[in-house]
Amino acid sequence: MNVSNFKNGTNNPIHINFSVGYFLLSNITIITNLFLISIITLRRIRSLNSTIMASMCTVDILYATIYLYPRFAFPMSSRSNIYFCNILPKLGIAFIINLSFHLCLLSLDKYLSITRPFFYNNHATIGKGSLVICMSWIASLLIAFLPFFTFDNIHRSICSLYSENLENDRIYLLFVFIILFFMPLTSSIIVYLRLFIIVYRHNSRIIYENASRSNRAINVIIKNKKVIFQVCAVIGMFTVCMTPYTICFLTIGLVAPLSKSAITHLIASQYLAFAYPSINPLVYGYFMADTRHEIITLFRKMCGYSTEQKKPNHYSASQITGKLRSNSISINY
Question: What's the average model confidence in pLDDT over 55-70?
Answer: 95
Indicate the pLDDT class of residue 154, thresholds 50, 70 and 90.
confident
**Pairwise CA distance, residues 270 & 323, whole Å:** 44
pLDDT > 70: percent of the chain: 76
Q: Indicate whether 329 pLDDT > 50.
A: no
Domain contains 182: yes
Amino acid 320: pLDDT: 44
More reliable by pLDDT, 161 or 91: 91
Give the CATH number for residue 207: 1.20.1070.10
Q: Which of the 8 DSSP states describes residue 44?
A: T
Residues 6 or more apart whose CB falls under 8 angstroms from that of 96 comprise 1, 63, 180
- For 197-234, what is each residue's pLDDT tens digit? 877 777 677 666 665 556 666 666 666 677 667 777 88
Amino acid 301: pLDDT: 81
**Pairwise CA distance, residues 101 & 178, whole Å:** 12
**Range name among 73-87, 171-185, 318-332 with the lowest pLDDT average:** 318-332
Amino acid found at 233: A
Domain contains 162: yes
Domain contains 86: yes
Amino acid 1: pLDDT: 53
**Range name among 42-46, 204-208, 241-245 with the lowest pLDDT average:** 204-208
Q: Indicate whether 319 pLDDT > 50.
A: no
Indicate the pLDDT class of residue 331, thresholds 50, 70 and 90.
very low
Amino acid 108: pLDDT: 87
> What global pTM score does this model have?
0.80
Range of the domain at 200: 3-326
Q: Indicate whether 101 pLDDT > 80.
A: yes
Amino acid 32: pLDDT: 94
Amino acid 326: pLDDT: 43
Indicate the pLDDT class of residue 5, thresholds 50, 70 and 90.
very low
Domain contains 208: yes
Looking at every residue in the chain, the average pLDDT score rounds to: 79
**Pairwise CA distance, residues 218 & 202, whole Å:** 12
Indicate the pLDDT class of residue 323, thresholds 50, 70 and 90.
very low
Q: What does residue 43 show for φ and ψ, rounded to 5 degrees?
A: -90, 0
Highest-confidence segment of 37-46, 133-142, 203-212: 133-142
Q: Which residue in 83, 88, 82, 75 sits closest to 11, CA to CA? A: 75
**Range name among 46-55, 57-66, 211-220 with the lowest pLDDT average:** 211-220
Amino acid 64: pLDDT: 96
Number of domain units in the chain:
1
Domain contains 332: no
Indicate the pLDDT class of residue 333, thresholds 50, 70 and 90.
very low
Question: What's the average model confidence in pLDDT over 266-295?
Answer: 85
Q: Indicate whether 43 pLDDT > 50.
A: yes
Domain contains 331: no
Question: What's the average model confidence in pLDDT over 134-140?
Answer: 96
- 270 and 21 in contact (C-beta within 8 Å)? no
Domain contains 148: yes
More reliable by pLDDT, 263 or 62: 62
Domain contains 258: yes
Q: Indicate whether 7 pLDDT > 80.
A: no
- 48 and 110 in contact (C-beta within 8 Å)? no
